[in-house]
């Protein structure tokens, strides 16, 4: 296999759909064997449908179609035993892990002073603690081999706030902290740690009716109304990014082309942070 990740192995969380799937496919196209982790079921308290086991298997089929090895590993990134077992299975099967991408994540919303304990805790558990637990599980393998690249999927809300997303904003600011902390501690072992921080991406997380209705402020909000909203939110005259835009940035940071880059956050934000 040739390509920018030829001969490498990767583990991607949130791989059943959206950004995680796009990263898995893009990495496979560039020659990496890819282990696919996802909870692949509804997550309590999340106001839109979760991924399905069939979607995780479909990612595996699409990765295999690209001529590399793959395995589907249903696991929960918030559960130490579950994510630990998935990482171990990936190492057993693929030999080691060169690249980690953490794309598992959830969304919910509510005014900062009205969020419930459950909303707060679930958000922090998945979008922050889950990222840490995954990186914690993978790091020893990279440290032992004195190489590796970790790419966290953050958000523009790692850098700024948005109304009704205090818990998400806090979690994503935390991911920026993890990028710097892991970057600092893993650098002596030749392991690089960076994040890709997207503006809105066309995935199930935000392109579902519950999310659109929140955005538009009324039931039945259309995609056209969302387009208008996001054109105001971004700076470039493009309403949203596609998962492959995020995957291309993750691919760059995971590849040797980024060998001099660690501890940084790369916004893929259509200029949203310029405002």
Ligand X SMILES: NC(=O)c1ccc[n+]([C@@H]2O[C@H](COP(=O)([O-])OP(=O)(O)OC[C@H]3O[C@@H](n4cnc5c(N)ncnc54)[C@H](O)[C@@H]3O)[C@@H](O)[C@H]2O)c1
Given the rule CB under 6 A, which residues bind ligand X? 13-14, 16-20, 38-40, 43, 50-51, 76-78, 103-106, 126-127, 130, 153, 155, 198, 200-201, 203-206
- Dist CA 246 CA 125 (whole Å): 23
Residue 239 contacts residue 201 (beta carbons within 8 Å): no
Q: Which is nearer to ligand X, 143 or 231 (CB)?
A: 231
Q: Is 168 in the active site?
A: yes
- Dist CA 135 CA 174 (whole Å): 14
User: Closest separation between CB of residue 182 and ligand X, Å?
Assistant: 16
Residue 228 contacts residue 159 (beta carbons within 8 Å): no
The greatest distance separating any two alpha carbons of the chain, rounded to the nearest whole angstrom, comes to 53
| Proportion of the chain in helix, strand, coil states, percent, rounded to 5 | 50, 15, 35
Nearest CA-CA partner of 198 in 243, 156, 152, 251: 156
User: Closest separation between CB of residue 139 and ligand X, Å?
Assistant: 18
User: Closest separation between CB of residue 190 and ligand X, Å?
Assistant: 26
Q: Which is nearer to ligand X, 79 or 93 (CB)?
A: 79
Q: Which is nearer to ligand X, 40 or 94 (CB)?
A: 40
Q: Which is nearer to ligand X, 20 or 239 (CB)?
A: 20
Q: Which is nearer to ligand X, 68 or 75 (CB)?
A: 75
| Ranges assigned E (strand) in 58-153 | 70-74, 99-102, 148-153
Nearest CA-CA partner of 102 in 23, 27, 171: 23
User: Closest separation between CB of residue 268 and ligand X, Å?
Assistant: 9
Catalytic residue among 48, 168, 229, 230: 168
Residue 223 contacts residue 38 (beta carbons within 8 Å): no
Sequence-distant (6+) residues with CB within 8 A of 96 are 9, 141, 145
And the tokens for 52? Answer: 């399905």
User: Closest separation between CB of residue 195 and ligand X, Å?
Assistant: 10
User: Closest separation between CB of residue 59 and ligand X, Å?
Assistant: 9
Q: Which is nearer to ligand X, 16 or 25 (CB)?
A: 16
Going by their DSSP bridges, the two strands 70-74 and 99-102 should be labelled as: unpaired
Provide the annotated active-site residues. Answer: 168
């Amino acid at each position: 296999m040739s390509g920018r990740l030829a001969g490498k192995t990767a583990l991607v969380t949130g791989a059943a759909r959206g950004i995680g799937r796009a990263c898995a496919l893009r990495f496979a196209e560039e020659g990496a064997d890819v282990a696919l982790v996802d909870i692949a079921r509804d997550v309590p308290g999340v106001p839109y449908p979760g991924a399905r086991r069939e979607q995780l298997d479909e990612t595996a089929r699409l990765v295999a179609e690209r001529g590399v090895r793959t395995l589907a590993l249903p696991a929960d990134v918030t559960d130490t035993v579950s994510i630990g077992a998935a990482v171990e299975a990936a190492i057993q099967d693929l030999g080691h892990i060169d690249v980690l991408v953490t794309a598992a994540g959830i969304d919910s919303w509510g005014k900062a002073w009205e969020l419930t304990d459950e909303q707060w805790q679930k958000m922090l558990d998945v979008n922050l603690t889950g990222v840490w637990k995954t990186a914690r599980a993978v790091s020893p393998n990279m440290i032992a081999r004195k190489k590796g690249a970790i790419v966290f999927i953050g958000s523009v809300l790692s850098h700024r706030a948005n109304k009704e997303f205090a818990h998400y904003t806090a979690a994503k600011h935390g991911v920026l902290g993890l990028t710097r902390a892991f970057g600092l501690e893993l650098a002596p072992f030749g392991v690089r740690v960076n994040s890709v921080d997207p503006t809105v991406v066309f995935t199930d997380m935000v392109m579902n009716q519950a999310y659109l209705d929140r955005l538009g402020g009324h039931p039945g909000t259309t995609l056209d109304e969302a387009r208008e909203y996001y054109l105001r939110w971004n700076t470039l005259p493009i309403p949203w990014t596609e998962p492959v835009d995020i995957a291309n940035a993750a691919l760059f940071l995971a590849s040797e082309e980024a060998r001099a880059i660690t501890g940084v956050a790369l916004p893929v934000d259509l200029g949203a942070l310029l405002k």
